Amino acid sequence: MQPSVLVTRATFPDIADRLRRYFAVEDNPDDTIWPQPELIRRLQGRQGAMTTGSERIDATLLDACPQLRAVCNVGVGYNNVDVAACTARGVLLTNTPDVLTETTADFGFALMMATARRVTESERFLRRGEWIKTGRFDQFLGPDVHGATLGILGMGRIGQAIARRGALGFRMQVIYHNRSRLDLAVEAACGARYVDKQTLLAQADHLVLVVPYSAGSHHAIGAAELARMKPTATLTNIARGGIVDDAALAQALREGRIAAAGLDVFEGEPKVPPALLELPNVVLTPHIGSASVATRHAMAALTADNLIAALGCGPNAGKPQTPVNPEVLK
Ligand code: 8YV
């Protein structure tokens, strides 16, 4: 009998068709968000799942779905999944690194620039018909990006791609902080200098967050960290909600303790804190860092291929490309 898989959110039709070559597939073309009990019910009796960051894969779900063998998550981050619980039950988890690196770095840079140069704030002004009436030489001034100091917290693949953009394209001084320092050759290739976290906070003109979310990175940027930043600095978060203390950030922005913020991710998303919605000096986007046509398709294709391989089918049977807990395969 064919294995059976659930695709939890809408995907590209050709990707659903690719899965149908090997599996009995229930997909979700209407992109309904299933409450957890319904997600569990739909997963029961199935061997595989293609999930996204919006589903919680925890011990309760895994225990209710003992047939499940593989959870293939669309996204490089997998803080929605309890990896230890998967491993303990022999469930393979895969993610989608690499294919989204450059696209997400593009977006991080775009969000940082929009934040510094007040793109959305001035656009809202223009849409209110206000240009001619009140146009002034000193309106909408912001800090420069070129030549400024770019601070990067989290120097994995996406952090390095942002560093290259800053150093090579915008002649920025790039400083970074990471759990472990990069090899000198990698530092040189992305034009970045390692500093401690306090120096990063104090010296960055534009601070970009690219750290994975974990208990250790929860509120890595809170009131104390914001207080160390320059009042002219911007903060951009394309990593995960919860890395920034959103309430402390709203207060810092309100009080002018930093100049502006660009946020693609929020604590408790899809809800956005009302305190942030009310502020003019924050650019808000709905978690679209990897959202280019080619990249989202590549992420879905890699996920489908992982699922096919993980369930012992296709040309790479038993050898999914990007396992998070490969020990399960042994
Ligand atoms: C995804 C992301 O779109 O890759 C990640 O970690 O945050 C995004 O690229 C998101 O996870 C949806 O699954």
CATH 3.40.50.720 given to domain 4-97+293-329: yes
- Supply the mean pLDDT for the chain: 97
Centroid of ligand 1 to alpha carbon of 230 (angstroms)? 30
**Domain range list for the chain:** 4-97+293-329, 101-284
Q: How far apart, in whole angstroms, are the C-alpha atoms of residue 297 and residue 96?
A: 11
Ligand 1 atom nearest to CA at 296:
3
Which positions are catalytic? 240, 269, 287
- Ligand 1 contacts (CB < 6 A) are 52-53, 74-77, 100, 289-290
Q: Which of 211, 290, 297 to mutate to test the pocket of ligand 1 (most atoms within 8 A of CB)?
A: 290
Q: Which of 111, 101, 58 is nearest to 292 (CA)?
A: 101
pLDDT of residue 115: 98
Determine which residue's CA is closest to atom 5 belonging to ligand 1: 75
Q: 287 C-alpha to center of ligand 1: Å?
A: 8
Distance, in Å, from the CA atom of 49 to the CA atom of 199, rounded to the nearest integer, reads: 43
Taking the CA of residue 78 as reference, the ligand 1 atom at the shortest distance is 6
Cis check for the bond before 270: say yes or no (omega within 30 of 0).
Answer: yes
pLDDT of residue 131: 86
User: Are both 4-97+293-329 and 101-284 of the same fold?
Assistant: yes
In the predicted structure, residue 133 carries a pLDDT above the cut 80: no
Q: Write out pLDDT tens, residues 10-66.
A: 999 999 999 999 999 999 999 999 999 999 999 999 999 999 999 999 999 999 999
Choice from 71, 74, 264 to test ligand 1 binding pocket (greatest atom count within 8 A of CB): 74
Pairing between strand 149-153 and 206-209?
parallel
Residue 211, phi then psi, degrees to nearest 5: -85, 145
Closest atom, ligand 1, to C-alpha of 265: 7
| Residue 11: alpha-carbon gap to chain centroid | 18
Overall fold of domain 101-284: Rossmann fold (3.40.50)
